[in-house]
Structure 1
């Protein structure tokens, strides 16, 4: 009967509302995390290629029909916006670290079809041209280094405030001491083999939250999977001077054998081998950001080398020390390099 249709329609409406607010199960969150991490890794590994929805959906094992909506809900930005942002952020890092590479080469290496399209997108995103961004690299790294020093040692900065202000009066860049200083960490060059790792991913600001991530999530996960006593690695995918803090990705990794199958939210990745500059570091979590900046700002320009497109990472050997009272630890900073 025609008059009988409203009742089932209301019952279906109530059922639909109940389904919409039902929270996802823990197992569903684990599955989605694994799948989305695979997609993000695939994008980074194929940043120079055309990336379409259907192949990416296949990587995630989602249907193409639903993938775009799921990606947007998970990442907080559309797939197109994410791809554009990642391409530009990778390009910004390469412009800074690969000073002798032509800008067109860098544009093509991140998937832009022309230098003109790249220049327009870059200026829209960063507010300056690619050549201007490259030209201000030294000043930008100096400013970042001073910011880290102010954050980690505010008393010393206050004592030197007058000197810094006077020294900066004639500096049009707004920063002081642009001259690279003597780099004090011991650096060696070594060829490292590719390394298979299992990882858990942290998304958000770098800093104290990374230490908490290791202590509260990664180390318990390692213990549950009987992975103690193996080399570990910390892999920062993003430069916090380029990428918004909320979008920065960090992987805590442990070396695993070829037959290891990850459980939970863990993923599997391959740290690429090749030539690396290795700097020994001892200190606490907040100061490691300063060490990385000094490595890039003070050591790299005088090395006769340039950074290449492989990721930078921290290596924590089996005998790495950690002092829970002071928070001090030791590791190696691993910077992928190639000839100029």
Structure 2
């Protein structure tokens, strides 16, 4: 999915399948009908199941079941006030019993045990070098653009920091952003930097979007989702009326209240920043994640510190009260 010279038919397949994946994520609490999903993809229902399995490497039913359980694991970790039954119903399970059986089969523990052990699990994930966003390196593509040091997002409240130190976090309202995105599916890490350089950067330059704000959106938790199934959207802000071409498609990053922290450091160190925010800051904040995606925001005027060459971005976590 990272080929820069995709023929038009494959690019069209990419767009259609991404729309199906987006639709499934947005309707995990509802029955997913094969015919309806085929209609989203504009494929024949008769052939769609085979097409989906060939594209994703798993059947439609297996994919939906996996995504429901992954979403449930996320909700259990980030929404301590929600009951296990509420989590089950919110992710498409008909009963708490069915949910508990499926959850234990996949994760080896009960939903209650998973929630109880959230802090220990995050602490264990912080020990290996290079975690969730290690070496994502979108700055290697964004850093090629002309940049002048200008004020970023709420610089008075979100300061630059060494990734090893506690971060300053502000709670602000961000507007919704209309974006064009390219989707990468596979292990997080160095491959994401290669994806930005080989696929996204040439597309941005050819469409005159080099000076726009970019976003890196990790859609899955690699501690839960198999590495080969993890999804990442490389996004760029586009104006109304912009028509995406090739394998790119249009989406909206939702607005609302976010915890925003300014990161400045080596790309590999951003994993530690994410871990500190979710393991240390969030549990003490009186807030919790909601169902909107987390993302890294790269403003073209501040993506690289001109004095030290370090990557600069804003880490944005959607939050609501406990």
Looking at structure 2, the residues matched to 214 and 107 of structure 1 have their Cα atoms a distance apart, in angstroms, of 36
> 99, 104, 115: which is aligned to 2:85?
104
Looking at structure 2, the residues matched to 280 and 102 of structure 1 have their Cα atoms a distance apart, in angstroms, of 33
Instruction: Give the length in aligned residue pairs.
Output: 286
Aligned to 2:222: 240
Aligned to 1:259: 241
SS at match of 2:304: coil
Per the normalisation by structure 1, the TM-score is: 0.81
SS at match of 2:235: strand
Aligned to 1:297: 279
Looking at structure 1, the residues matched to 300 and 173 of structure 2 have their Cα atoms a distance apart, in angstroms, of 19
Cα root mean square deviation, aligned? 1.9
> 69, 87, 95: which is aligned to 1:88?
69
In structure 2, stretches of 5+ residues that fail to align are 1-5, 135-163
Aligned to 1:222: 204
Deviation at 1:320, TM superposition (A): 2.4
Per the normalisation by structure 2, the TM-score is: 0.85
Deviation at 1:284, TM superposition (A): 2.5
Aligned to 2:128: 147
Deviation at 1:83, TM superposition (A): 0.1
Looking at structure 1, the residues matched to 226 and 26 of structure 2 have their Cα atoms a distance apart, in angstroms, of 21
> 252, 256, 274: which is aligned to 1:274?
256
Aligned to 2:145: none
In structure 1, stretches of 5+ residues that fail to align are 1-24, 153-181
> 134, 139, 162: which is aligned to 2:115?
134
User: Residue 122 of structure 1 contacts residue 129 of structure 1 at CA under 8 Å; is this kept in 2?
Assistant: yes
Looking at structure 1, the residues matched to 89 and 68 of structure 2 have their Cα atoms a distance apart, in angstroms, of 10
After TM superposition, the runs of 4+ consecutive aligned structure 1 residues lying more than 6 A away are: 149-152
Deviates more, 1:195-204 or 1:140-149: 140-149
Change in CA separation of 1:260 and 1:103 when aligned onto 2, cut-off 3 Å: same
Aligned to 1:30: 11
Structure with higher RCO (Cα < 8 A, 6+ apart): 2
Structure number with higher helix proportion: 1
Deviation at 1:193, TM superposition (A): 1.3
- What per-residue deviation string (whole Å, max 9, x for no partner) do you get for residues 55-81 of structure 1? 100000001000000000100000000
Deviation at 1:142, TM superposition (A): 0.4
Q: Which has the larger radius of gyration?
A: 1
Q: Does 1:194 align with 2:176?
A: yes
Looking at structure 1, the residues matched to 302 and 202 of structure 2 have their Cα atoms a distance apart, in angstroms, of 18
Deviation at 1:286, TM superposition (A): 2.1
Deviation at 1:322, TM superposition (A): 3.2
